[in-house]
Structure 1
Amino acid sequence: MKIRIGVGDVPERGARDEPGLAGLAADLEARRIDSLWLSDLVSAPDSVDPLIGMAYALGRTERLKLGTGVLVLPGRNPAVVAAQLAGLAALAPRRVLPVFGVRPARRADRPAFPVPDGPRAEVFEEALRVVRALLTEPVVTHHGRYFHLDEASVAPLPAKPLDLWLGGRIPAAMDRIGRLGDGWLGASVTPADADACRARIVAAAERAGRTIEDDHYGTYLTVVQDGTEERTVDALLARLRKDRPDVDDPRDLLCRGWDGARDHVRRFVDAGLSKFVVRPAGRVASRRDFLDAFAAELLPLEN
């Protein structure tokens, strides 16, 4: 398996005039870090739409890959999303890594994606089918429950079909990935969770007559460094307790320092995962110091 380790956002404490996304992309490129992953956080301060951010960062780099972690699909026009991804893939071949999710991570963002919770999963699945069809077929006619297209197309079609990964953790999400997705990017999971999720995805894919590549499984890793403010860690643990009440100790979902991050990577690799997105638990004192440590401590684990 190709082990690859990318980076999520790395906010810096007290930084008001730093170069933001441009500086982060340049710092990752200079350190030959594999990828940068942009979250879909509409109402978060200093956030940027992930597709706009991808275009900006791709245009300022030559080898850095850009991923969405994750892009909320229900509530977006899937034909427009497909056209945006096709354009990005044409401008930066093999560097566009779309991952889709069913619902916003933040409750405050839900009004921005006006799809009722009841049919949300059904809307997601139909939208995903539309995106895939438009990215792989020259002309698409689709008449479903939620979307209607007559002889629609996007151009140029990617020379190599884009892999469409999905997020999620619950059993229904794993079954959906097996039926419709090309890979999985998890979050807030333990290695044991990841092992069970991967097995369920594989079983669902087999039932659907599909195959998902062995190295198309990954997860976010959150690193708590020395010096991280206690109130930040306490708030994070509170969110994890709410999100994962089934986990006895939410600290098991975090990496304590770089030793903990290396240990988590190895344990996840044993569970069959090979793609990782690392993010700090809170704002860091120095982004460049964080990335220097990341490059020294984690990049040797890639192959």
Structure 2
Amino acid sequence: MSEESGTRRIRVGLGLGLGPVWNSRAEFASCVESVEASGWDSLWLSEHLTGPTPAPLPALAFAAAITSRIRLGTSVTVVPGRSPVDLAKSLWTAAQLCDGRLLPIFGLGIAEGAEHSAFNVSPQDRGPWFDEALPVIRQLLQGHRVTAHSRFFELSDICVTDGRPAPVTDLWMGGRSDVELRRTARLGDGWLASFADPRQTRRGIEVITKHAKHIGRKFDSGHFGLLFPYARERRPDTMTELLRRAYPLDDPDELCPVGIDALRAVLDNHSEAGITKFILVPAERPDDWASALELLRNDVTEATTQSNFARLAH
């Protein structure tokens, strides 16, 4: 099928989720090198301060040192509770070390009491903190000197770069609520949905596009993504239970497909809704990253080959 007849060119990256990623430096290096060798578009690390997930930015800087092609993303970087200057400095440093391959996605973080406590921010302050901090982070990454007065921070003539823009072009955002969608339309350059069905992604895109137009912004139609878990043969009971507990109104089969046919349906249906970027997270940690990532990538290739709507971009 051609673009004119409805096919969307999509990119599929690999996410490592919120669990432990490695037992050693050698294992993580093998994982990262396998992501690039098996043809994935990108590698994504999530943030969970109070869990066994590695800190994304230093881990991605390490990944950049042993790769040359794949893009490297955060899904997501938590903003509330952090100094925008410190965060902008870390992002600028990581972007430099990633040779411009860094793709940061920002959000409020996991809705857990332990996480809020770890970031030292109250639930009611998370949104306002984000609203005030992200524009400051953007200005700092663009190389500007910034003065800002906020109830969360005070900045006077601060610059974190040598005056040149950091090699970060777009600031994407996560979230599914109406407030988060409108915030994305107002402050972001792209949107990453997580654990969503096609009706939810379609509605999210419509809300963002409509609100962006209302406030005089144009949102790139290719800047919509989805993070989702995938199981090749059987969805682990722990994943099914997690999905039913966190998303009781949603079908686990739509949120975490099992097998190539279900994967094809997810890629097809969300592509038709307007998603062009996908982050596939293995439903369970493999024993052998190299062979597992090759098999997962083959599933993606086969699913898109059979697809009526999605084709892999190369």
Deviation at 1:227, TM superposition (A): 5.0
The structure 2 residue matched to 1:37, chosen from 41, 44, 50, is 44
- Structure 2: how far apart are the matches of 1:11 and 1:107? 16
Structure 1 letter corresponding to 2:73: G
- Structure 2: how far apart are the matches of 1:284 and 1:258? 18
191-200 vs 111-120, which moves further: 111-120
146-155 vs 84-93, which moves further: 84-93
- 1:244-283 to 2 correspondence within 5 Å? 244-247=247-250, 249-283=251-285
Unaligned stretches of 5+ in structure 1? none
- 8 Å contact kept, 2:212–2:218: yes
Unaligned stretches of 5+ in structure 2? 1-7, 305-310
Partner residue, 1:196: 203
Structure 2 letter corresponding to 1:165: W
The structure 1 residue matched to 2:240, chosen from 215, 237, 242, is 237
- 8 Å contact kept, 1:41–1:106: no
| Consecutive aligned runs of 4 or more in structure 1 exceeding 4 Å deviation | 10-13, 15-18
165-174 vs 86-95, which moves further: 86-95
Structure 2 letter corresponding to 1:120: R
- Structure 2: how far apart are the matches of 1:158 and 1:302? 31
- 8 Å contact kept, 2:140–2:161: no
Q: Using a 3 Å threshold, how does the CA distance of structure 1 residues 161 and 12 change in structure 2: closer, same or farther?
A: closer
3-state secondary structure, aligned to 1:98: strand
Q: Using a 3 Å threshold, how does the CA distance of structure 1 residues 145 and 279 change in structure 2: closer, same or farther?
A: same
3-state secondary structure, aligned to 1:222: strand
- Structure 2: how far apart are the matches of 1:90 and 1:102? 25
- 1:116-265 to 2 correspondence within 5 Å? 116-156=122-162, 157-158=164-165, 161-227=168-234, 233-247=236-250, 249-265=251-267
Partner residue, 2:31: 24
Deviation at 1:11, TM superposition (A): 9.9
* Structure 1 vs Structure 2 CA RMSD: 2.3
Partner residue, 2:4: none
Structure 1 letter corresponding to 2:106: F
119-128 vs 160-169, which moves further: 160-169
Partner residue, 1:85: 91
Deviation at 1:137, TM superposition (A): 4.1
Deviation at 1:194, TM superposition (A): 0.3
Q: Using a 3 Å threshold, how does the CA distance of structure 1 residues 237 and 154 change in structure 2: closer, same or farther?
A: same
- Structure 2: how far apart are the matches of 1:130 and 1:271? 32
- Structure 2: how far apart are the matches of 1:285 and 1:161? 34
- Structure 1: how far apart are the matches of 2:203 and 2:293? 31
Deviation at 1:125, TM superposition (A): 1.1
Q: Using a 3 Å threshold, how does the CA distance of structure 1 residues 159 and 109 change in structure 2: closer, same or farther?
A: closer
Structure 2 letter corresponding to 1:282: E
1:104 aligns with 2:107: no
3-state secondary structure, aligned to 2:121: coil
- Structure 1: how far apart are the matches of 2:145 and 2:195? 39
- 8 Å contact kept, 1:11–1:283: no
Partner residue, 2:312: 302
- Percent identity of paired positions between Structure 1 and Structure 2: 34
- Structure 2: how far apart are the matches of 1:179 and 1:204? 8
3-state secondary structure, aligned to 1:69: strand
Structure 2 letter corresponding to 1:234: D
1:58 aligns with 2:42: no
- 8 Å contact kept, 2:44–2:74: yes
Deviation at 1:109, TM superposition (A): 2.8
3-state secondary structure, aligned to 1:67: strand
Structure 2 letter corresponding to 1:257: G
- 8 Å contact kept, 1:11–1:284: no
186-195 vs 235-244, which moves further: 235-244
Structure 1 letter corresponding to 2:109: R
Deviation at 1:285, TM superposition (A): 4.4
